[in-house]
Amino acid sequence: MLAGWETLASCPASVIHSLIKVLLVVTFMQWPATAIVVVPNSNCFTFDNNSRLVDFADLIGKNFEYNEKGSVPSDLVVQFCKDVQRRSQAGYTDFGRFISSRSFITGSQPIDFIQTFQYGDLVHCETTFEKMGRTSQVNIICGQCPNKECKGKQGCICSISYDELMCRVTVELAIPCPKSGPRVFKGFTVGFHPRSSELVYNGLTQLGFEQSHHEFSFQGEQSHVSLYLSAVFSLSGLVGKPSLKVNPVKGLDVTLTGSGTNGAMPTTLSPTILNVIWRCEIARSSPYEVNILIPVEGYDPIEFTLTKECGWFDHIIVSST
């Protein structure tokens, strides 16, 4: 062994570098490719025009202020993905708060994205639709304001306009937008019932199933679980056959059955069923991880993890049969 190291040490540096490159290539060729589990870091996200995830979590709560000049000086403040307020010496007026990711949509040029804020102050706005009070719309431009108003790279409010009758303010905000992420198969759901989406909602893996979680685990006596898959009808033909990986490899026997395994198209009216049948063979103090991957043509795959407990009691039951 020592002679081998001496021989290697005597080689020219260029030869050693080439050998390292070869070893790295071989290593990566043997390492299994893993999919990206699409889970946003918060509800402050949206999709671009190509269905790619754009996550704005790093901007949550960041203040953007606009100084309004007039008889009563005031500042309009946008707290990104939080709320919109008009502040002055007399106090502040609430122009709505950010409710959920459904309040964050794709815009059309020159607007890249749109955020809506609802349920602001009701004073003098009692007759608004569904008593939503004052509301606001923030039109987001990725880059600079058309009037080159921004200074620096942090972004700024380009302009604002009020609709007193509708109790609404419209804000034009220019910011450096984050890069687009995985391409999400929107409209795809996976749930424990035909109309539910506990595991995957709108193509996004839900918290609790993005990785192993003890509090979301299935107990040993549960021999199977049925999952229901659905997609938009026009795109349901893009869904491929699922595959699975179990960690650790030995100790839990898992089989997939049902219409979801044979290429049937999952639709909202006729969801396909994916039965996960498992049997504990080796007892473990920590749970098994069952990773299920569903390929989608042209999109990043759907991936989620089921957690399975196999305690000593379950092992005795299996061994005695």
Q: What is the CATH number of the domain that holds 72?
A: 2.70.130.10
Question: Which H or E run includes 69?
Answer: none
The mean-pLDDT minimum among 6-20, 207-221, 291-305 falls in 6-20
Q: Do residues 134 and 171 share a domain?
A: yes
Question: 124: domain range?
Answer: 45-175
Enter the tokens of residue 109: 């040029």
Residue carrying the six token digits 């996550």:
55
Query: What is the CB neighbour count within 10 angstroms for residue 277?
Result: 14
Q: Do residues 222 and 126 share a domain?
A: no
Asked if 45 contacts 57 with a C-beta cutoff of 8 angstroms, the reply is yes
**DSSP, res 90:** T
Q: Is residue 245 part of a domain?
A: yes
Q: Do residues 144 and 232 share a domain?
A: no
For the entire predicted model, the pTM comes to 0.79
Q: Do residues 77 and 151 share a domain?
A: yes
Would residue 236 be called left, alpha or beta, if left means φ above 0 and alpha means ψ between -120 and 50 degrees? alpha
Length of the chain: 321
Enter the tokens of residue 170: 């419209």
Choosing from 175, 199, 223, the residue where a domain stops is 175
> What is the CATH classification number for the domain harbouring 239?
2.60.40
Q: Is residue 153 part of a domain?
A: yes
The string of DSSP letters for 250-290 reads SSEEEEEESGGGTTPPP-SSS-EEEEEEEEE-S--SS-EEE
Asked if 185 contacts 296 with a C-beta cutoff of 8 angstroms, the reply is yes
As beta bridge partners, residue 229 has 190, 272
Q: Do residues 50 and 125 share a domain?
A: yes
Residue range 85-117, pLDDT digits in tens: 999 887 889 999 999 999 999 999 899 999 999
Q: Do residues 154 and 212 share a domain?
A: no
Q: Is residue 168 part of a domain?
A: yes
Choosing from 175, 208, 237, the residue where a domain stops is 175
- Type of residue numbered 226: S
Choosing from 145, 175, 205, the residue where a domain stops is 175
Enter the tokens of residue 116: 């809506």
Q: Is residue 195 part of a domain?
A: yes
Residue carrying the six token digits 């709505």:
96
Residue carrying the six token digits 């019932």:
193
Residue range 120-177, pLDDT digits in tens: 999 888 877 777 789 999 999 999 898 777 776 789 999 999 998 889 999 999 999 9
Query: What is the CB neighbour count within 10 angstroms for residue 58?
Result: 11
Q: Is residue 52 part of a domain?
A: yes
Statement: residue 208 has pLDDT above 80: yes
Residue 146 is predicted with a pLDDT of 86
How many structural domains does the chain have? 2
